[in-house]
Structure formats: structure tokens, C-alpha cells
Structure 1
Amino acid sequence: MLKKIGLYFGTFNPVHVGHLIIANHMVEFSDLDEVWFVITPQSPFKAKKSLLDNHHRYQMVFEAIQDYPKLKASKIEFDLPQPNYTINTLVHLGEKYGSGHEFCLLMGEDNLKGFHKWKNYEAILENHEIYVYPRVSEGKVENRFKSHPKIYRIDAPIMEISSTFIRKQHKAGKNVRPLLPEAVWRYMDEMNFYR
């Protein structure tokens, strides 16, 4: 039987409750069988001081989703040449998992606005469905994406939590614990991250 996988790309620096709520909503209230958190590796071309090493971000996602059997952590992009593009990841996944899996993209409405600038976006749309969740943001989605037969809008909760906000406030000494899955908070605290 064909397994339908939603790919949720991000740096997850750190993964927070907003990410979990979106991923869980997408897998529970659409026809997706699983959602994979695809952790974007640190680009060797633009090392950001605030971006934790790949394995730490993977570990935090892994810890966050322990109790959610339909959610998976993926390090598939860690082994791909950098800089990497989504189209390359999709081709690689297709080769690795063959015909038993159908891969779809999850993206926020804000990302859909710039989708026409993605490398080989036409090929992505030709071969993959896109599940869009709402975001509070300005700007317009191009008309061709508004009623495209492969783009589905999922009425998920609007999450206005950002990893940037969490890092900044944590560094400032604010209590950000409620914004993080408990296991992620413990890992972050033990490792003294984002201080």
C-alpha cells in the first residue's frame, strides 16, 4: 500500500510546540500517513553562530516526537551535497524509498508566496502535492497557486511562535519553557544552548 508522507522542512533551531501542533494537525486532519521533520543542515557557505550543529537539532526533534508515532525525524539532507535544493531532496527520497512512498511538501502560506522562485518549482508541482497551512503574513499568493489541483489548503491552527523569538528571549533570561516540548526544554537546558 502506498504510504503518503508529508515533508516538513526547517532548521528547527529549536523545534517548538508550534511545529508539533502543525505537524500533528497535518497528519491527523488530512490524508497523510506520516509527517517527517526534514532537518535542514547548516550550510557550509553561511555558518550562522546561532544555528546549533545538525546532530543537536536532530536530537531535539527526535526527543520532541517520541510520543507521536505518525511523526518522524529525518536527517536525509545531512548527506546531500551543499547547497541543497528541495528538488534534489525529493529526487533522492524517490530513489531511496521507491514506489511504496508518495512524498508531499508541507509549507506555510508565506512560503507559497515565494514558491515560483524555487529551483525547478514546476517539476516539484508536477510530481508532488503541496499541503499549505495558514500563516499571518502580508503579501499575495500568485493566482496560479490559488486554485492549483495539487495544492491543498489545510485549515490548521495559526501558529505565531518562532524559534528566533525563543532563542532571543531565552538568552535574555525569560522563561520560554511553555513554548517547547518538555524533552526539548530539558535537552536545551542541560546543554546550555542559546544562552
Structure 2
Amino acid sequence: MRRIGIYGGSFNPIHTGHISLAQHILSAARLDGVWLVVSPQNPLKAGNGSLIDDEVRLRLARKALEGVSGISVSDCEFHMPRPSYMWHTLRHLSETNPDVSFTLIIGADNWLDFDRWYRSRDIIAAYNVIIFPREGYPVDATKLPQGVCLVNTPLFPISSTEIRQKVARGESITGLVPAAIEEDVMHIYGHVGADDAIES
């Protein structure tokens, strides 16, 4: 059975930190692949103009990952009821891919808030969980439940918010996003104000 990691986010836009992190986890956890699940816009936050159209974020992610081995993009949440809950996403993926064992990949910040996630206990009971470090969010690996592990990946101090703000100020984003999408990101996000911010 293939082992696939599920790494969800808005990817607004996808950046080199997302990709490098996925590559490190792919290797460290000996997964067969990592799927980046692009989350659709939450209807409760539809008024925030900084979240670019779903299809555009998906297209940028796919273009950024062309030629990157082991990492791919999933739009499964685009075809599911909204807002998207990870429990529903994982169950849907398991039902449509019965030959795959899925592992949830989340940051330490999300783990410290995990008990507030919808059906968090069911997720832990049914799926393995990989936590990656985030600066300022310490996780005690000795106190994690069975099936949950901390993978010591490097810290990647890049955020989609920072990239959007740099674009709004006309600053270079070279190295922050894959070269294949740098021009697209500059063009698409050029109209987004620097004060708009959604962490992703």
C-alpha cells in the first residue's frame, strides 16, 4: 500500500518553503508521495480580497511543481461541501483511493491547536500525523499520542503573506517562489494591497 502525505493550505501563493518542506518530509518519513491539497476559499471569509481565485492558486501550484518528483497537487476539496474540514477530506481521499494509506502533515502551530479541529480525535484514531517545526511553537515529542510524530525539518522563514506584501511594494521575490511562476505571481498579486494578509 502506498503511503501518501497530505499537506493542506491555501497556497496563496505557493512558495519555495512549501515545496522544500514537502521534499524534506517525503524523504524523512519515507513516504511514497506528498499531495498538496489546495483549499478553496472559505465562504465565511469571502470578503477578504487577498485570497486569490481558487483556480488561479491551483494553476500556480501545479505549474510550480512541474518536474518536482514525489510532490503533486490535489484539488479534491474543490469538489466537496464547504467549508472544508480535514476529516472530510481525509475520508474522501481514503474512499476514492482504497490502495493508499494517508498521513496528515501539519505545522507545530496547528498541532498545538489541534484539539479544536473538527473530529480531531477521529483523525488521530484513523490516520498517522506528521508534525513539522514552526518557530515559537514548541512541541514535546515525548508526549505525542501513538501515530503522531515530530519530523525535525529545517525552518523555512518564508510566508505567502510576505510574498504578497513584497509584490505590493514592487520588491523582488526571486528565490521566494519557484522561477517558473515568479512572473505570474508578480502579475497576479500585483493588485493586492500590502495590508491584506492571510497566513498560508
State TM-score, norm by structure 2.
Answer: 0.90
Tell me if 1:188 matches 2:182: no
One-letter code of the match for 1:194? G
Inter-partner Cα distance in structure 2 for 1:166 and 1:158 = 17
Inter-partner Cα distance in structure 2 for 1:128 and 1:158 = 25
**Preserved CA contact (<8 Å) 1:40 1:77:** yes
Distance change (3 Å), C-alpha of 1:171 and 1:128: same
Mean Cα deviation higher: 65-74 or 3-12: 65-74
Instruction: Provide, for residues 90-146 of structure 1, a one-character-per-residue CA deviation record: whole Å limited to 9, x for no partner.
Output: 111111111x101111111111000011111010000101111111024x65x7983
Q: Secondary structure at the match of 2:37?
A: strand
Instruction: Provide, for residues 6-31 of structure 1, a one-character-per-residue CA deviation record: whole Å limited to 9, x for no partner.
Output: 00100000000100110011112212
Inter-partner Cα distance in structure 2 for 1:82 and 1:13 = 18
Instruction: Provide, for residues 167-194 of structure 1, a one-character-per-residue CA deviation record: whole Å limited to 9, x for no partner.
Output: 01110111112211011212223x4423
Which residue number corresponds to residue 105 of structure 2?
106
Which ranges in structure 1 are unaligned for 5 or more consecutive residues? none
Aligned ranges for residues 73-152 of structure 1 at < 5 Å?
Answer: 73-98=73-98, 100-138=99-137, 141=139, 146-152=143-149
State TM-score, norm by structure 1.
Answer: 0.92
**Preserved CA contact (<8 Å) 1:34 1:71:** yes
Inter-partner Cα distance in structure 1 for 2:119 and 2:190 = 35
Which residue number corresponds to residue 54 of structure 1?
54
Q: Hey, which bits of structure 1, 4+ residues long, moved more than 3 A?
A: none
One-letter code of the match for 2:73? A
Considering only aligned residues, what root-mean-square deviation do their CA atoms show, in Å? 1.6
One-letter code of the match for 1:117? R
Which ranges in structure 2 are unaligned for 5 or more consecutive residues? 192-200
Tell me if 1:68 matches 2:83: no
What is the percent sequence identity of the aligned residues?
32
Aligned length: 190
